[in-house]
Amino acid sequence: MRVMITRPHDDAAPLAASLREFGVESLIEPLLAIDYFDGPALDLDGVQAYLLTSANGARALAGRTPDRGLPVLAVGDATARAAKDLGFSDVRSASGDVDTLAALASGGLDPATGALLHPAGTEVAGDLGGAVGGAGFEYRREALYAAAAAEAFSADARKAIAEGTVDGALLFSPRTGATFKRLVEAAGLAAGLRRVRAYCLSAAVAEQVRELPWLGVDVAVRPDQQALVDLLR
Q: Where are the beta strands (DSSP E) in the chain?
A: 2-5, 25-28, 32-36, 47-52, 72-74, 91-93, 115-121, 139-149, 168-171, 197-200, 216-219
Give the separation between CA 171 and CA 205, rounded to whole angstroms. Answer: 7
Range of the structural domain that residue 137 is part of = 34-147
If asked whether residues 141 and 165 sit together in one domain, one would say: no
pLDDT tens-digit map of 57-73? 999 999 999 999 999 99
Checking if the pLDDT of 39 tops 90, the result is yes
If asked whether residues 52 and 107 sit together in one domain, one would say: yes
Give the separation between CA 197 and CA 22, rounded to whole angstroms. Answer: 18
Cβ-contact 230, 220 below 8 angstroms: yes
Residue 80, domain CATH: 3.40.50.10090
Q: Which of 98, 116, 147 is the last residue of a domain?
A: 147
Look at residues 154, 158, 162 and name the one whose alpha carbon lies nearest to residue 191.
162
Q: Which of 106, 130, 147 is the last residue of a domain?
A: 147
If asked whether residues 182 and 201 sit together in one domain, one would say: yes
If asked whether residues 142 and 155 sit together in one domain, one would say: no
If asked whether residues 156 and 134 sit together in one domain, one would say: no
If asked whether residues 136 and 103 sit together in one domain, one would say: yes
If asked whether residues 161 and 102 sit together in one domain, one would say: no
Start-to-end C-alpha separation, the chain: 11
Averaged over 1-24, what is the pLDDT?
93
Number of domains making up the chain: 2
Predicted model pTM: 0.84
pLDDT tens-digit map of 176-198? 999 999 999 999 999 999 999 99
Averaged over 124-129, what is the pLDDT?
87
